Each structure stands twice: as structure tokens, then as C-alpha cells.
Structure 1
Amino acid sequence: MRFLHTSDWHLGRQLHGLSLHDAHQAFVDHLVDVARSERVDAVLIAGDLYDRAVPPPDAVGLWDQAQTRLVVEAGTSVVVIAGNHDSPARLGVGSRLLERAGVHVRVGTAAVGTPVLLEDDETRVACYPVPFLEPASAVTDWAVEERSHAAALRVAMGKVRSDLAVRPGYRSVVMAHAFVSGGQQCDTERDISVGGVQHVPGAVFEGVDYVALGHLHGRQRLAEGLRYSGSPLAFSFSEAAHIKSSYLVDLDGGGLCGVEEVPAPVPRRMARLTGTVEELLNSPIYGAYEQCWVEATLTDRVRPVSPYERLKRRFPHLLKLVVPSVAVEVGSRTLAELDRLAPVEVALDFVTEVRGRSADGDEVALLHRAFDELRRAEVTR
């Protein structure tokens, strides 16, 4: 039996103000093609389907399209769990009706331990969706004494094992949205710590054939049957080196028999460049990055004039500019001294402070004209 493990779509997310809707659409097209061509029995989406609790309409429309196409065009089942970004109440709307169509959406604690049962001529699999578990909810619903993700997941896995024990001959898959110890973070995952406790030991999942994890955005293997698929798109420049993909997971009567990486489409390469403005503008070594999404970190000793506008001419997809603070000796003034200065002198001091050099003649003249205009405006009010 074959599964396609993916997670952390974050539909509705932007990249430094840039809409990722078209990139998400390309991923959905790719996922449907893979599910159809590889004869996938079920697509597993391990949480954070949406980027926020109240997703924008185009994100909701894309999910509606994706689930419909996976069932109708690819002929596969779909199993989805809520992540920490998702609203259980909203994601779970219509779930009982969707279940009849082969789309299994699990949110909250109520259905934990109740599997989605899948089988073909040779293999029977019990898939246990375990959505993101708020420790506070686990304390209330299950009387968990320790308020932590690990405690909540231990109870959840106890329910899984109890159900699996009465299903002889079934192989097992667990879906979970959590931070498992040993996983590597980047800077785009929302903190899920509770009182400083967010890590879950991998041993919590022992005895299961495959665990499809979500939450961390980098693809990673913690054990042969314990993996993060990672997000299908890069959501910050901290993910520039990630290889985005999904996992094709095969199980037979003996258990896990194969895991294959399926690369996701790359909407545009990402590049992190460092140098002075002149180096970035003129050096041929940066020519290969002109069509990338670019984060540029400047190393100029003096803050350059209009660096963003200038760099944008060479790198039209520049999304982030890091301009270092410039430490300069401009002298310190007391409030009394500042009070005695003319407003234009205060402005000129400010220019020197933030840029690392004094204003040139044209800039001094421009500031004088500006303050003259302000004074005239005050007089005519």
C-alpha cells in the first residue's frame, strides 16, 4: 500500500509581502499528478494546511480544489490533521460528510485513537491521525497531569496502541504535528512551547511502522520510519538551502518496505548574497542570481544612498535588504544643546548618524529648502 506524506502547506502565506498563491497552485498540480501516476492509496497532510486560523478566501478555494482533484482525478483518499496554525473549528467543518467522499479531516482530541482503515488485496493499514494537541485541552479532556506536548502525545499513543492491539494483521501509520527531539528548526515555525516544554521524544512513537510528522519545515529523517516531510515551499531565506519534497511511503504485510523522496516544484530559486553595494551591482560572480529571490546583506562601512532601488535594477526579485548599523563618531549632544540648534541642523546631525557620513552640498540645500517651505506654511495657516 502506498502513501504520499506531505505537511505544512501554509496556504495563504506570503514571502516578504509576495503572494505565494501561484506557487501553491503549482504544488497542488504536482501533488495530483504524483498521486495519480504513482497510484497512491492515501495522501497524508500532517498539519498546518493553512497559515493562520482565519485563512483568506483564495487559500480556502485552493484547498477545496486540491481535495476534490485528489479524490476525483487521482482516485486517492486524503487524511488531514490540524496543525498549530489551523483553526480546528474551521478546518473541521463538514468533516463527517467529507469522510464519505474519502477525505478524512481530524481535529481536536475526540477522535484520537480512531483509525482510518485502508486496505488492498495484500495489505491492511490502520492510519491514526493525531492532530496538534494543545496541552491545555489534553489536561481538560483526558485529565493529563503534566501540561506538556510530550504528556499529551503519550496519552494519544496509548489510545493508538490500545486500538491497534485489537486489529491483528494490520500495519500502522501515525500522523502527528509536533516538535520531536532531534529535529532541526528554521526561523519560520511558530513556537509551540508550553512553559519551556515543547520537545517530544521519538520513543513516544515506538511500535508504529511509519510516523508522518509535520511542524518542522525542513525535510528530515529521525529514523527510518520517523520523518518530517517538510513544507512544500520555502517561506523564508532561512530555508534557502532546503530541498523541498514529499515522501512516497510503501507498506506491505511485513511493515515498512520503502520510502522515496519526491522533489517538489521550485517556483524560483532563493539566494542569500553578501557584499558592498558596488560589489553586488558590478561583480560578475553574482550574475547567476539575477533571477532568484534575493536577500542581500550589505557590508559597506558607510551607509549607501538608495541601496534598495539600485540593487533592484540588477536583481528584480530582491525581497529583503539587510543594511548593517553603522557605528560613527558624531559627538553626543545634551538636550539643552539640541534645543539651541536650528531644526535643519538637527536633521543634518540625524543624516550623519544613520548614514555614517555627512550630507553633501545638494542634500544640505534640499533640507534647507524643505525647512523654509515648512516655515512659510506655518506662517500662512
Structure 2
Amino acid sequence: MRVLHTADWHFGKTLEGRDRIPEQRQFVDELAGICDDERIDLVLMAGDVFQTVNPSAEAEELFYEALDKLSAGGTRGIVAIAGNHDNPERMAAASPLAEKLGMTLIGLPHQALSAQTPNPSRPWRVAAGPSWLELAVPGCDHTAVIAALPYPSEARLKELLTQSLDEAEWVEQYNDRIAQMFSHLARHFKSDAVNLAMSHLFVRGGIESDSEVQIQVGGTYAVDPDAFPGRAQYVALGHLHRPQVVAGAPVPTRYAGSPLAYSFSEVGYSKSVVVLDVQPGRPADIREVFLASGKPLVRWTAKEGLSQVVQWVEEGRDANAWIDLEIHLKDPLTMEETHMLRTIHPGFVNIRPVFQVEGVNAVTAAERKNLPMDEMFVRFFERQKGYTPDDGLVQLFLELVADEPADAPAAEDTEEVAG
């Protein structure tokens, strides 16, 4: 059986307000092409289909379009679980229609699944129960048993794991509960079937990026690598956006990563999906298939100022990229200059001026303490925003400072951070 592992589509997610739906649609087409070219039998989608629990109609439409294209007319198996960004009930709402095409959509842990009437022309569930299924796929002479655990928060598990307020005890109880659940689900694994597990959670030691919204608070919603069942031939995970192997797991365990770079902390990441060939009783043959969809995210540092940026644009540098621009200046950008930058390259997402001002702003710490409060605010604002605040904003700042409690950080501390 040939299986494709993907996750963290985040349909509807933007980049500082920039629409990514066209890039996400491009990814869906690329993924469908990979499934066809690789002759994929089963797709595992490990959570975070959407960016929000209340996705736009456009994002939902893209999800259903993706299911339709990936299913190959109902001949390819699809199992998708909800992540922490997904509304679990909404995720599973389309199940009555999806199941007619051999798709299984699981929103909540413990969601009841049932066996289906045999149909050799489409994928069908030979057997099933809460958070697990045995799936037959056309063209495969063996089935796949899948332990499928959607995002397992305490609220979605509908369990109180401990009444203790001690964080260490909570962490231990959560880890033990997830390990226990996987151990229970693994009892359905069979020696003559392909045995797989999937979930959407954080494994301690995983490498994060800024584009993930934390699902763990102080490490509580996190598990150890050995929480997964040792009888699984592969564990497909979602949540972390950087494709990576989970070190220390008892069996091959991977995060597929997001298909697009969703923050500038992901500059330089290669995006991919995982393809595995697996047979009963044998180690899975695992490989990455790299993706080309979406605009690259790049950082520019223009130490020679505005003219250097204009030159790079005229040279066609990163013409199809989203750009985080750091530009070194002596004077703040005017509104006309900012508009010009936005016009000559629509890919500028952030424009961050770095001022190299001699004399006025090059003051020592001792001198800074003697500067008036309004002057320190003006300098700080200019460095952060690239232009001078008006008198009304300065006055508002002074009024806010006057209302600060006596133990609030001193203004010179703010200026030190800004510098």
C-alpha cells in the first residue's frame, strides 16, 4: 500500500493580511498531481485543515475541492482528522456525503465510526470503532488499520485528567493518558494488515516556528516521543510546520509540516509531503516529496538605503516572493516613498526602517536619562514606524504615562530596548 501523509493546510490563513488562497489552491492541484503520479492508495491528513474554527466560505469550498480531487473519483482512501485550529463538529459534518466516496472525516477523539457495506470499487471500512478504522482500498490485497486521534485537548476528550494545580503532575497525567489511548487503539492492529497511527499534537523536542499557535501552555499539551504505539509501522503527525522526524519515538514518526511557509521564521524551509510504501509485517519505506507551490518568503536587508531596494526590484530580484524588508535610513520614509515601495513590488509585507542617525539619536545612556519624555517617545516611534508621530499622538502618550502606576518600567528602559 502506498500512503501519502500531509497536514497543516490552514486554508484561509493570511500573511500579515495578504491573501494566500490562490497559493493554497495551487498546492491542492500539486498534491492531486503527486497522488496521481505516485499512484497513492491512501491519503492521511493529520489536522489543521483550516486556520480558524469559523472558516470563510472560500476556505471551506477549497477543502471540499481538495477532497474531490484527492479521492480520484472515490477510488482513493482519505482519512482526515481535526487539528486544534479546526472546529471538530464542523469537520465531521460532511461525513454522510464524504463516506459515500470512501472518505473518513474524524472531528473528536472517541468519535464513533462504523463498518461499511463491502464495495470493491471504492475504499470501505471493514471494521471500525471510536478513533480507529480498518480500511480496504481498491487494488490492495491487504487492509490498513489506522489509530486516528484528532487533537486531544482535555475539553475535546471531555475528561478531567487531574484535579491538581501542579503543572508537573498535569503534564505527567496528560502524557500518560495519550499513551494509554494509543495503547488501547493499537489493540486493533493486525499482523496481516498495514498498521498506522495519526494525531495532531506537540511532541516534546519538536522544532517550532512562529506560524504555529501554541497548543501547549507551559508544556502541558505535549507528549513524550515514546507515547506512540510500538506496533505501528508509521505515525503521521500534524501541528508543527517544519517537516521533521520525531527523535526518540519507538517507530518511524514524522511531522509532514505545512505545505506553505506561513511566517518569516520559516524562511529557507523546504516544504514537502511524506510518501511511504508499506506492507504487513515489514518496515515502511519512507521518503519526502518536495513541494513547489506558493510564493517563497525572503528577507532583504538594504544597508545602502532606498536606492538599493529600487535597484534590486529593477533587476527582478525575488519578483514572485513575499518580502520582509529591512532598510537602513538616515531619515524616516515619507508616505510617498512608502507608497512607491508598495507600488514597485506588491510582495513587500513588512518594511522595517533601521536608522543610522549621527548626533541627534546617537546618545549615551547617561544622556538618554536627561532627555524629555516626549523626545524619547518620538525617537522610539520613529525607529519602530519610520515616520514622526503627530502632536496628538505624543500628547496621548504623555497622558498614558501620567496614568502609569509608580512601579511601572522607567521610560529610559523603553528607550534602551528600542535602541
Which TM-score bucket, shorter chain as reference?
0.7 to 0.9
Cα distance in 1 between the residues matched to 2:182 and 2:212: 24
CA distance 1:294–1:156, shift in 2 (3 Å): same
Q: Secondary structure at the match of 1:289?
A: coil
Cα distance in 2 between the residues matched to 1:204 and 1:280: 52
Letter in 2 for 1:159: H
Letter in 2 for 1:89: E
CA distance 1:139–1:54, shift in 2 (3 Å): closer
TM-score (norm 1): 0.80
Task: Answer yes or no: is the 8 Å Cα contact 1:125–1:171 preserved in 2.
Answer: yes
Structure 2 counterpart of 1:185, from 187, 208, 223: 208
Return 5+ residue gaps in structure 1 as ranges.
Answer: 339-345, 357-362, 368-381
Cα distance in 1 between the residues matched to 2:67 and 2:163: 35
Structure 1 counterpart of 2:298, from 267, 271, 290: 271
Q: Secondary structure at the match of 1:267?
A: coil
Superposition pairs for residues 151-170 of structure 1, below 5 Å? 151-164=176-189, 167-170=190-193
Residue of structure 2 in register with 1:57 after alignment = 57
Residue of structure 2 in register with 1:332 after alignment = 371
Superposition pairs for residues 83-102 of structure 1, below 5 Å? 83-102=83-102
Cα distance in 2 between the residues matched to 1:63 and 1:158: 32
Superposition pairs for residues 195-344 of structure 1, below 5 Å? 195-205=218-228, 206-222=230-246, 225-276=252-303, 277-278=305-306, 280-281=308-309, 288-300=317-329, 302-306=331-335, 308-324=338-354, 327=361, 332-333=371-372
Cα distance in 2 between the residues matched to 1:21 and 1:50: 11
Task: Answer yes or no: is the 8 Å Cα contact 2:12–2:51 preserved in 1.
Answer: yes
Task: Answer yes or no: is the 8 Å Cα contact 2:320–2:347 preserved in 1.
Answer: yes
Cα distance in 1 between the residues matched to 2:309 and 2:140: 62
My pick for the range that moved more, 286-295 or 12-21, is 286-295
Q: Deviations over 1:180-207 (max 9, x none)?
A: 1221100011111145423311111133
Q: Deviations over 1:339-377 (max 9, x none)?
A: xxxxxxx9xx97666447xxxxxx9xx99xxxxxxxxxx
Task: Answer yes or no: is the 8 Å Cα contact 1:234–1:242 preserved in 2.
Answer: yes
CA distance 1:42–1:156, shift in 2 (3 Å): same
Task: Answer yes or no: is the 8 Å Cα contact 1:250–1:256 preserved in 2.
Answer: no
CA distance 1:116–1:280, shift in 2 (3 Å): farther
Note if 1:124 corresponds to 2:152: no
Letter in 2 for 1:267: G
Q: Secondary structure at the match of 2:183?
A: helix
Letter in 2 for 1:260: R
Q: Secondary structure at the match of 2:29?
A: helix
Letter in 2 for 1:110: H
Letter in 2 for 1:237: F
Task: Answer yes or no: is the 8 Å Cα contact 2:26–2:293 preserved in 1.
Answer: no
Q: CA shift at 1:176, angstroms?
A: 0.8
Cα distance in 2 between the residues matched to 1:142 and 1:200: 14
Give % identity.
Answer: 28
CA distance 1:353–1:86, shift in 2 (3 Å): closer
Q: Secondary structure at the match of 1:59?
A: helix
Return 5+ residue gaps in structure 2 as ranges.
Answer: 112-129, 392-419
Q: Secondary structure at the match of 2:78?
A: strand
Q: Secondary structure at the match of 1:161?
A: helix
Cα distance in 2 between the residues matched to 1:170 and 1:353: 64
Q: Secondary structure at the match of 2:54?
A: coil
Q: Secondary structure at the match of 1:311?
A: helix
CA distance 1:163–1:55, shift in 2 (3 Å): same
> Which structure has the larger Rg over C-alpha atoms?
1
Q: Deviations over 1:213-251 (max 9, x none)?
A: 100001112257211110011111111211111111110
Residue of structure 2 in register with 1:76 after alignment = 76
Cα distance in 1 between the residues matched to 2:154 and 2:96: 25
Q: CA shift at 1:272, angstroms?
A: 0.5
Q: Secondary structure at the match of 1:48?
A: coil
Cα distance in 1 between the residues matched to 2:186 and 2:154: 20
Task: Answer yes or no: is the 8 Å Cα contact 1:139–1:147 preserved in 2.
Answer: no
CA distance 1:138–1:194, shift in 2 (3 Å): farther
Q: CA shift at 1:259, angstroms?
A: 1.5
TM-score (norm 2): 0.73
Cα distance in 2 between the residues matched to 1:352 and 1:260: 52
Cα distance in 1 between the residues matched to 2:96 and 2:380: 62
Cα distance in 2 between the residues matched to 1:352 and 1:64: 51
Q: CA shift at 1:253, angstroms?
A: 2.6
Note if 1:115 corresponds to 2:155: no
Aligned residues: 345
Q: Secondary structure at the match of 2:236?
A: strand
Task: Answer yes or no: is the 8 Å Cα contact 1:275–1:300 preserved in 2.
Answer: no
CA distance 1:106–1:141, shift in 2 (3 Å): farther
Cα distance in 2 between the residues matched to 1:138 and 1:45: 20
Q: CA shift at 1:143, angstroms?
A: 8.3
Q: CA shift at 1:142, angstroms?
A: 8.0
Task: Answer yes or no: is the 8 Å Cα contact 2:210–2:265 preserved in 1.
Answer: yes
Task: Answer yes or no: is the 8 Å Cα contact 2:52–2:86 preserved in 1.
Answer: yes
